[in-house]
Amino acid sequence: MPEVKVPELAESITEGTIAEWLKQKGDSVEKGEAILELETDKVNVEVVSEEAGVLQELLANEGDTVEVGQAIAVVGEGSGSNSSESSANDDSQKNDSSSNDAQPQQVEEQNQSTDDAKQDNNQRINATPSARKYAREKGIDLSEVASQSNDVVRKEHVAQSQQQPTSQQAPAKEEAKKPAQQNPTKPVIREKMSRRKKTAAKKLLEVSNNTAMLTTFNEIDMTNVMNLRKRKKEQFIKDHDGTKLGFMSFFTKAAVAALKKYPEVNAEIDGDDMITKQYYDIGVAVSTEDGLLVPFVRDCDKKNFAEIENEIANLAKKARDKKLGLDDMVNGSFTITNGGIFGSMMSTPIINGSQAAILGMHSIITRPIAVDADTIENRPMMYIALSYDHRIIDGKEAVGFLKTIKELIENPEDLLLES
């Protein structure tokens, strides 16, 4: 019988963890239908069946680690049960038996109309496959759950919605959140780390152990770029269909110019070889509820400011909605992280994967600055940091790279000419 195997994911990903089975043993399966959700080091992906039939056997459980190419289920011939159809049939039978006084034809039409409207409404809700499946099984309207969630609807949101109508359940829910106490005076919470957190911890430690990482700093007077942005902001929005002009496009274009001037910063070590990349795929760190993700804006040297701003916004939304694909997360050349959005004044960012360096942006803070020998003015200042692998990049190149960023941001007209 045909087996469902873990598909090829990405060059650097060889295994994943089964987050949830979307189909159960005995369920009908269509060709191309998702049967489970797989959590990888970078994103969650749905694994689909290549055959239509019945899910005869599950060869792995939720929480198991499985490798690329490993058989995880068996699909056989025939027609199996369908939880959503069974639920719908049960509801229909209950409605028919409880309304003996009504005309059967009328009751059936009313139920069908209600179900269709509910189904159409649920299709428009932004929800994970596991949340939709759970809602179908429990007969829950996703639109009611969505009104209580500002983000994509997940299975836990649907489960929580069942408990909310009865106030008696609230204390139990709060009780479940209390930390387990190993010592009455020393409360702790022990929980298993997610695969993504474990992977991030492992890779960050590898970077620290396997690179000669140093960090150098500089500061930027943001006056000119802020004034330019203020002058052009409204017109930029009109010219580019509502796209806002942010600081990230300025720093991205400045980074591209600096990478062209200092190509060692756009390199990486592979064994005994140094690979200098001739493309400019810039990673932009995005904070999500599952941690920091770094999708890449491709070919930034060929994109204008509006295209970069659009791409960053789209990738950030995909990250928050858990819709990033593996292609969004691999094969970048350089990364920018902006701790300033959280209020960070200064930090030493850790290099992303096998890249040679990472640029850190920080908060814009008004500080007194000596403009010349006789004048001190309050200026909006930002500290920037470059963490780099000293095996590839010398201090001279690192300092020169940051100095180039500083000069281009402080003179944004030059940046426009560079791009």
**pTM summary value:** 0.64
At 336, which helix (H) or strand (E)? strand 334-338
pLDDT of residue 76: 85
168 C-beta neighbours (distance < 10 Å), count: 7
Q: Which residues contact 246 (CB under 8 A, 6 or more apart)?
A: 309, 312
CA distance 418 to 416: 5
- Mean pLDDT score, 318-328: 86
Query: So what's the pLDDT on residue 81?
Result: 57
Residue 61 has pLDDT above 60, yes or no: yes
87: tokens are 């639920």
Residue with tokens 């428009």: 124
Per-residue pLDDT, averaged over 374-385, amounts to 97
Mean pLDDT is lowest, of 91-95, 327-331, 335-339, 343-347, for 91-95
pLDDT at residue 83 in the model? 46
Residue 9 has pLDDT above 80, yes or no: no
Residues 6+ positions from 238 with CB-CB distance below 8 Å: none
Q: How confident is the model at residue 146 (pLDDT cuts 50, 70, 90)?
A: low
Residue 265 has pLDDT above 60, yes or no: yes
pLDDT at 350 over 70: yes
Q: Average pLDDT in the 40-59 region? A: 85
Tell me what pLDDT residue 14 has: 80
Is the pLDDT reported for residue 149 higher than 70?
Answer: no
Give the range among 53-62, 194-203, 215-224, 334-343 with minimum mean pLDDT.
194-203
The mean pLDDT of 162-188, rounded to a whole number, is: 55
pLDDT value at residue 303: 95
**Inter-CA distances, 68 with 12, 55, 285, Å:** 11, 20, 27
Q: Is the pLDDT of residue 17 over 70?
A: yes
Mean pLDDT computed over every residue of the chain? 82
- Name the DSSP letter for residue 386: E
pLDDT bucket at 129, cuts 50 / 70 / 90: low
pLDDT level of residue 375 (50, 70, 90 thresholds): very high
Which is more confidently placed, 16 or 163?
Answer: 16
Q: What is the pLDDT of residue 85?
A: 46
- pLDDT for 203 equals 79
Q: What percent of the chain has pLDDT over 70?
A: 78
Residue 70 CB-density burial (10 A; 0-12 exposed, 13-18 middle, 19+ buried): middle
Residues 268 and 274 sit within 8 Å (Cβ to Cβ): yes
| Angle 224-225-227 from CA coordinates, rounded to 5° | 65
Is it the case that residue 70 has pLDDT exceeding 80?
A: yes
- pLDDT of amino acid 82: 56
Cβ atoms of 365 and 381 closer than 8 Å: yes
Structure confidence at residue 148 (pLDDT):
57
Q: Which of 203-217, 222-236, 292-306 has the lowest mean pLDDT?
A: 203-217
pLDDT for residue 37: 87
What average pLDDT does the segment 219-239 reach?
94
What pLDDT, on the 0 to 100 scale, is given for residue 261? 97
Residue 100 CA to residue 23 CA, distance in Å, equals: 36
| Between 176 and 274, residue with greater pLDDT | 274
Whole-number pLDDT of residue 327: 85
* Per-residue confidence band for 260, with pLDDT thresholds at 50, 70 and 90: very high
Report which of 108, 23, 114 is spatially closest to residue 73, judged by C-alpha positions: 23
Catalytic (active-site) positions: 390, 394
Name the percent of the chain lying above pLDDT 90.
41
Instruction: Say yes or no to pLDDT of 247 above 50.
Output: yes
Judge contact between 344 and 363, C-beta under 8 A: yes
305 near 253, Cβ under 8 Å?
yes
